[in-house]
Amino acid sequence: MPKIKRPSDSTIHRLSVYYRVLQSVEKEGYHTVSSKELAKREKLTPAQVRKDLSFFGSFGTRGLGYPVRELREKIAKILGLDRTWNVALIGVGNMGSALASYKEFQRQGFHIKLVLDNDQRKIGSNHKGLEVRDVRELEKELKTNKIDMVILAVPANAAQGLAEEVQKTGVKAILNFAPVNLRTNDEIHIRSENMAMELEYLSFCLTNKTTPSSD
């Protein structure tokens, strides 16, 4: 990535979206795609698309559009999707089980290599082809399995303690599904998924009969 100003949260999110559109467009056999077409598929404006993509260097040719494969590969590189990542899942309750079988992870290069829990009845059992390991062996297991990222799918009251333990092991990224705000230092990247917040967004729209503007 060129050393320019940092992209915003929303830009990164839209890169993920463009990446998916490009995957589809490539499958459909197209070699070039216009900013208009990229925008249309995602209800964005062509200007937004061009602005986002120009942020990471110049890709397109005026009048010809973007070369599909080249652009997809470039975005893959920016997002770190030109490689695979080893992921550990902590917690195999309802949400953890669903995430363990979420095919989109594997499809984009995120391989769940390790599944951990603290429940003696679950430890040692087979979960979607992986033996559930004891979370008390967290540090050893993360190292042995060369884990890059951790998904936390544990109850709210367990999440903070586990996030701190993960941080001590040197793993630098957590995707958190517990409905709680994790406090860690700045050396670790944390994203929290709170599904209720998405419903709150919708209830805002219904209540105010409006849609927030995109960022």
Positions in 24-53 near its own copies (CB under 8 A): 41-42
Which pairing describes strands 110-117 and 85-90: parallel, antiparallel, or unpaired? parallel
2 is a contact residue toward its own copies (CB under 8 A): no
116 binds its own copies (CB under 8 A): no
- Among the residue ranges 61-69, 133-141, 158-166, 203-211, the one whose residues contact its own copies (CB under 8 A): 203-211
Helices 68-79 and 9-27: crossing angle, nearest 10°? 140
CB 57, min distance to its own copies, A: 14
3-state secondary structure 142-179: HHHCCCCEEEECCCHHHHHHHHHHHHHHCCCEEEECCC
Among 31, 70, 98, 119, binds its own copies (CB under 8 A): 98
Question: Residue 101: left if φ>0, alpha if ψ -120 to 50, beta else—which one?
Answer: alpha
3-state secondary structure of 26: helix
Window contacting its own copies (CB under 8 A); options: 44-52, 80-88, 136-144, 159-167: 80-88
Q: How far apart are CA 207 and CA 203, in angstroms?
A: 6
**Residues of the shown chain interacting with its own copies in the complex, contacts defined by CB under 8 A:** 1, 5-13, 15-17, 19-21, 41-42, 78-81, 85, 87, 94-95, 97-99, 101-102, 104-105, 107-110, 148-149, 172-175, 179, 181, 189, 191, 193-208, 210-215
